Amino acid sequence: MSFMKSRFLLVVLFGFCGSFLLAQSEDTVSTINPRLWTKVTYRFKPAKKLNIDVSALYRDEGGDEGKNSLISEIQFNLEQSKTLTIATEFRHYSIFVVDGLDQRWRARVSATKSFDIGKDDFSIRLGAQHREIISGGGSARADARFRGSYTKSIKNWKWDPTIYSEYIGSFYSEKPDKQSSRLRLGIETDNKVIGGKLSVGYFYQHDFRESAAHYNTLSIGYRF
């Protein structure tokens, strides 16, 4: 089992690093902007298999767009079994633009399946989301999301790292030029701190649309 786990981890790491380097090399002529995403969450547990997360998010968007946003979110997580979780999420966006405030809402549903590989964990998440414009610019859009992640358990270390890749692509857009096609490659970790859970992460986002900007994103979150 140890040999199989080590080989699997090497394949994942080489695949992740290879994809990251390839994406970076393709973007040498494109704009790569920095972003900072922050999130504070309070979790309710009204039933044994149900978690309700209420969150506030602030996102600092770098680059020429400079569209910082404040997001309110509620998410329902239902554990169907030890390895399958269904989630439903609702968001309201307030986006600060030069000439005022844009608003939109988004709904998302997803299913996450976990696979036990010894002390480590591999999971796949499939999801679909739809957003509508309340005011300001933008376009109504529906996206499909696919994410694969691998968490490595490290002995005597509480910050177990998770590496992941996620593709987000539109299957409907009110305006064809606003369709999404993005790939995210990242690493994240979390641990209990001062009675809650602190999470930190980084991901690189490659946008497959011509002339679109790409992003290096640092994320920080705390859940009570």
**In the predicted model, what is the mean pLDDT of the chain?**
87
Q: How much is the pLDDT for 30?
A: 60
Report residue 11's pLDDT band, with 50, 70 and 90 as the boundaries: low
108-142 pLDDT, tens digit per residue, is 999 999 998 888 999 999 999 999 999 988 889 99
**How many domains, the chain?**
1
Domain that holds residue 175: 2-223
User: Does residue 13 carry a pLDDT above 80?
Assistant: no
- The pLDDT > 70 percentage for the chain reads 84
More confident residue, 166 or 139: 166
What SS3 class is residue 50?
Answer: strand
Q: For the chain, where are the E strands, in sequence order?
A: 32-47, 50-61, 68-79, 84-97, 100-117, 120-135, 141-151, 162-173, 181-193, 196-207, 214-223
pLDDT over threshold 60, residue 15: no
Cα 74 to Cα 165: distance, rounded to the nearest angstrom: 24
Mean pLDDT for the stretch of residues 196-215: 90
Give CA–CA dist 201/64, Å, rounded: 24
Please tell me the predicted confidence (pLDDT) of residue 213.
80
Closest to 219 in 3D by CA, of 85, 75, 60, 36: 36
Q: Is-contact 70 102, C-beta < 8 A? A: no
Residue 4: what pLDDT?
A: 52
> What is the CATH number for 62?
2.40.160.40
Residues whose CB is less than 8 angstroms from the CB of residue 194 and which lie 6 or more positions away in sequence, other chains included: none
What pLDDT score was predicted for residue 116?
82
List the Cα angle 78/83/88 in 5-degree steps: 25
Q: How does pLDDT run across 28-78, given as a tens digit for each residue? A: 446 788 999 999 999 999 999 999 999 999 999 865 555 799 999 999 999
Task: Please determine, for residue 158, whether its predicted confidence score (pLDDT) is greater than 70.
Answer: yes
